[in-house]
Amino acid sequence: MESHVQLLRNFRDQYLLGNTAGKFFTETYYRVSPPIAEYIANHDTLRLAVRAMLMPMVLIVSAVFSFGGKIVALMLILLALSMGMAAIHIRRRFA
């Protein structure tokens, strides 16, 4: 888990803090997250669920560092389009 936290910190430092939107996101996160984090820390099931929900973000950030942001953005767009096309196909088939 510690390596994942460090990876997200590196992403914050190298990508988010370098632009206005990223700074706004980071400042908002640090302002609103302490009570949420405290609540999550006191609930084992919720803590496990949040860790599971964060794993895709960790994988995306890892890919950004490995392949570059533009390639990963293109991959995510293509994935979203593929999923959308599959959903349309399934709806039409079973409608």
Residue 69 has pLDDT above 90, yes or no: no
Q: Which pair of structure tokens corresponds to residue 23?
A: 């700074």
According to the per-residue pLDDT averaged within each range, which of 1-5, 41-45, 89-93 is highest? 41-45
Where exactly are the structural domains of the chain?
Answer: 2-67
Angle, CA of 65, 52 and 48, to the nearest 5°: 135
Residue 94 has pLDDT above 90, yes or no: no
Q: What number of residues does the chain have?
A: 95
Residue 54 has pLDDT above 80, yes or no: yes
Residue 49 has pLDDT above 90, yes or no: yes
Q: Mean per-residue pLDDT for 52-78?
A: 92
Q: What average pLDDT does the structure give for the chain?
A: 93
The angle that helices 69-94 and 44-67 make with each other, rounded to 10 degrees, is: 120
Amino acid letter at 4? H
Confidence of residue 1 (pLDDT cuts 50, 70, 90): low
Angle, CA of 52, 54 and 56, to the nearest 5°: 95
pLDDT > 70: what percent of the chain?
Answer: 99
